Amino acid sequence: MVKLAILILRHMLSSGQLKISLPGKPDIVVTARNRGWRAGKGQHPDKGASTGIGISLPRPSALLALVLRPDPLIGEYYMRGELVLTEGSFEDFIAFLFQNTQSWRHSVIGAIYCQFWEIIGWFASLNPIGRSRRNVAHHYDLTDQLFDLFLDENRQYSCAYFRGTTETLDIAQKQKIARLAAKLHLQANMRVLDIGCGWGGLATALSKCADNLHITGITLSENQYAFFKKSIAENSLNKQLSVELQDYRKLGHRRFERIISVGMLEHVGKQNLNKFMATIDQHLADNGVAVIHSIGRNGSPCATSPWLMKYIFPGGYLPTLRQMMQAIERTTLKVTDIEIMRLHYAETLSHWRTRFEAHKDKLPEHYDEAFIRMWQFYLICSENYFRYAHGMVFQIQLARRQEDVPQTRDYIANEERRVLKLL
C-alpha cells in the first residue's frame, strides 16, 4: 500500500521534495526529478525558501488515499487536524502541490483525471432555481461576523484592482469599482440592473456616478437581501436603489440601459451559461451596455474542485473564455472590450487571508476549529490557484450597438479618475 503510494507520487512530482511521516515507520522521502522549486511568492531555494516539505499522517492507509484522491481528501484531512506539517508552512505545502499538479495535469493520466471530473462536474453544477437558492444560502447566508472579519468596508467579495503593491484592500476595491463604473459608461437617468448584488456595496457606489440613476439589485441570499434593504432605508436611498430577492431567470419583461454582474457567473453552472447570456440579451435596452466580471479558467475546461463544491461553493463552475464566447455568440450582443486580470485576485485573497487569521478569534463560538481550518484551506488554495494554476478574472463589456461605447479605451482611465473622487 505504501509502496504503491510512493510509486504514484514519484510519477506526479515534477519538482521539490516531500518527506512523509507515518506511525511506526521510518520517514519516507520522495524526491522529484527536478530539485529546486519555487515556493511562496516567487521565492527560490537560494533566497531562503525550503526545498522540501514534510507532512505527518495518522495511518499508512491515509497516504494511498491522499495520493489516489487528493481532492477532496487533503482538505478534509486538514480540516480534521489529521494532516500536520512537520517541515515548512502549510502555505508552502499548498504552493508545492499546485506547482506539481500543473505539470501532472499535462500528462496523459492527468488529462484523463481532469476529463473524468469534467463529466462528474456536469451533474454537480446543475443549478435549477430551487437548487440555486440552496447553494447560495450554503455560503452567503452565514453570519455577518464571518464576512466582516476579512472583507473591506463595502463588503466587496470579489477581485480587487491593485495598481501597485502598497494599496490597502479598501483602496484596491474602490479602484475595482471605479474601473467597472468606467466600463459601464454611466449617464444620467439610466436604469441599471446589478445581477448578484451581494450586500449592495457596488450598487451603492455606482449610484454616485451619475445623476438620477435607479439601480436594481437582485440576489438569492436572504442575508444579503436583508442587509442591503436595511442599508437603503437607513441611508434614505429609496429613490436611487432597490433590491429584490430574485433569480436572474425571473425578471419578467423589464429592460435596463445598463447591466452589471460581478462574481455571479461562477454560480450559474456550466449548463446555464447560455441562459445567463440570453437573460442579459433579453433585458438590455436598445442603447444598452453590460459588463460581466467573473472568475474564469485560463486553460481547457475542467470541473470545479470536488472539495470546493462540497464545502464552499456547491454548484459552482468556472468557465473558459471559449465557453463564454460561445454563449455570447448565441445572443445579439457585441463584445466591445475584454480585460484579463491576472494576479489581482491572488493579491486580494492574500489580504483576505491575512485579515481572517488576524481576527478569527472574534468568530462566534459555533464556528469550531474544523470550520476555521476549512476557511483557511479555502483561502490559501484559492490564492495559489490564481498564483500558480489556471485561475484568472475576466471583465467582458458588451453592447447592443458598437457605437454605444467610445471608440478608444482612453475613456476608461479618464472616467476612473472622476469616479474615484466620488467614492
Residue 50's Cβ-side half-sphere holds a number of Cα atoms within 13 Å equal to: 18
Q: For residue 267, count CB atoms less than 10 angstroms from its CB and return exposed for 0-12, middle for 13-18, buried for 19 or more.
A: buried
Banded pLDDT at 12 (limits 50, 70, 90): confident
Residue 319's Cβ-side half-sphere holds a number of Cα atoms within 13 Å equal to: 28
Distance of CA 11 to the CA centre of its chain: 30
pLDDT at 126 over 70: no
Which pLDDT score is estimated for 99? 81
pLDDT tens, 61-110? 999 998 888 889 999 999 999 999 999 999 999 998 888 776 555 555 55
What CATH number should be reported for the domain whose range is 129-422? 3.40.50.150
Banded pLDDT at 39 (limits 50, 70, 90): very low
What whole-number distance in Å separates Cα of residue 357 and Cα of residue 79?
A: 15
Which helix (H) or strand (E) element contains residue 202? Answer: helix 201-206
Phi, psi of 48 (to 5 degrees): 105, -5
DSSP 257: E
Which pLDDT score is estimated for 100? 78
What whole-number distance in Å separates Cα of residue 337 and Cα of residue 291?
A: 9
Which pLDDT score is estimated for 16? 81
Average pLDDT of span 40-46? 37
Banded pLDDT at 197 (limits 50, 70, 90): very high
Banded pLDDT at 217 (limits 50, 70, 90): very high
pLDDT tens, 149-182? 999 999 999 999 999 989 999 999 999 999 999 9
pLDDT at 38 over 60: no
Which pLDDT score is estimated for 34? 52
Banded pLDDT at 118 (limits 50, 70, 90): low
What whole-number distance in Å separates Cα of residue 401 and Cα of residue 26?
A: 69
Which pLDDT score is estimated for 327? 97
The SS3 assignment for 59 reads coil
pLDDT at 283 over 60: yes
Identify the sign of the CA torsion 7, 9, 15, 18. negative
pLDDT at 48 over 50: no
Which pLDDT score is estimated for 45? 36
Banded pLDDT at 1 (limits 50, 70, 90): confident
Taking CA 242 as the corner, what is the angle to CA 236 and CA 247, rounded to the nearest 5 degrees? 155
Which pLDDT score is estimated for 128? 62
pLDDT at 6 over 90: no
Residue 138, C-alpha cell as written in the block: 450554503
Banded pLDDT at 19 (limits 50, 70, 90): very high
pLDDT at 251 over 90: yes
pLDDT at 56 over 70: yes
pLDDT at 407 over 50: yes
Which pLDDT score is estimated for 124? 57
Domain residue spans of the chain: 2-106, 129-422
Average pLDDT of span 343-347? 97
What whole-number distance in Å separates Cα of residue 357 and Cα of residue 127?
A: 33
Average pLDDT of span 188-213? 97
Banded pLDDT at 411 (limits 50, 70, 90): very high
Which pLDDT score is estimated for 143? 80
Average pLDDT of the chain to the nearest whole number: 88
pLDDT at 331 over 50: yes
Which pLDDT score is estimated for 40? 37
Contacting residues for 99 by C-beta, under 8 A, at least 6 apart: 14, 15, 16, 37, 38, 388
Tell whether pTM > 0.75.
yes
Which pLDDT score is estimated for 46? 34
Q: 15: which strand partners? A: 34
Q: 128: which strand partners? A: none
Do 145 and 126 form a contact (C-beta atoms < 8 A)? no
Which helix (H) or strand (E) element contains residue 377? Answer: helix 369-388
pLDDT tens, 262-278? 999 999 988 899 999 99
Taking phi first (over 0 means left), then psi (-120 to 50 degrees means alpha), and beta for anything else, what does residue 399 get?
beta
DSSP 407: S
Residue 285's Cβ-side half-sphere holds a number of Cα atoms within 13 Å equal to: 13
